[in-house]
Structure 1
């Protein structure tokens, strides 16, 4: 029997048997962890009258400068109307710049301005500090397991987006 209630199976696969109660506790832990993870950025965003949608847009534009509006729509999984509201605010406030595509004039490529980069840095610094502390507390094996669990929970299309970001090395 492996630690945590799992048993090693043939072929090196590990079977993990969890009760509904253990799964419920994990789900609740994830909800509370998410609240903690978003608490610092929420305070920063609140001062600017922005929300989490603004944060996600800034994050992914930073991760992939020049990304298209359509690509951002797919990553964020929001409606075009919702994303347009967020982008309009970010552009009007001087955080994001929209450029017409060189090959396709219908495309809009998104870039953070200096002001947008500064906001992204402030938001991600707060989140990295929380993640760093949690990872140090948990240890390297737990960190690897956590990443494995998160990736296993992703829908296939989201995993493809995630892997592209991972491979970009930025």
Structure 2
């Protein structure tokens, strides 16, 4: 493939020996890794009485300034009611601004304020530090393999959203 990934036959055929127990262990490792990955931001957010939904919204608004509410709904896979509750809080607390679309007045484009960018930076710094340490310990081949595994686990529409986000280069 042109994106640097090996073909399925080369990658997957040598992994056919994985037992159900090994897969269960991988699943459990992912669960505990996710807990670690979210622990630092959770502590920061707890002081502000925010949760992970706020973190995800702040992250993706910061990653794609001007994203629409509908695009954010698609990325996060939450209900409109749930996202509106989170956005109302972030907007009233001065972390996010909602701007009317230039071409379509029904659209709302979301931007982080200076305060929102500072919080996003603090949350991302905590997660990047954890990732950097883990990647350093694992080595470059493991890092590439990890990304390949994560991308292979994504549903096709999520993989497309992920690829689109990566293309923005922000």
List per-residue Cα deviations over 1:72-128 (Å, max 9, x = no partner).
000000000000000000000000000000000000000000000000000000000
- Segments of structure 1 that go 5 or more residues without pairing to the other structure are 1-8
Look up the match of 1:23: 23
- What are the equivalent positions in structure 2 for 1:118-133 lying under 5 Å apart? 118-133=118-133
Look up the match of 1:162: 162
List per-residue Cα deviations over 1:37-59 (Å, max 9, x = no partner).
00000000000000000000000
CA distance in 1, matches of 2:168, 2:91: 25
Look up the match of 1:72: 72
CA distance in 1, matches of 2:11, 2:126: 37
List per-residue Cα deviations over 1:114-168 (Å, max 9, x = no partner).
0000000000000000000000000000000000000000011110110011111
Question: Cα distance 1:12–1:18, how it changes in 2: closer, same or farther (>3 A)?
Answer: closer
Look up the match of 1:37: 37
TM-score by length of 2: 0.93
Residue 23 of structure 1 deviates from its aligned partner by 0.3
Look up the match of 1:90: 90
Q: How many residues were matched structurally?
A: 162
CA distance in 2, matches of 1:79, 1:90: 17
Look up the match of 1:3: none
TM-score by length of 1: 0.93
CA distance in 2, matches of 1:13, 1:52: 34
Q: Secondary structure at the match of 2:18?
A: coil
CA distance in 1, matches of 2:73, 2:10: 39
| 1:141 partnered with 2:151 | no
CA distance in 2, matches of 1:140, 1:93: 41
CA distance in 2, matches of 1:110, 1:91: 10
- What are the equivalent positions in structure 2 for 1:42-61 lying under 5 Å apart? 42-61=42-61
Aligned-residue Cα RMSD (Å) equals 1.4
| 1:151 partnered with 2:145 | no
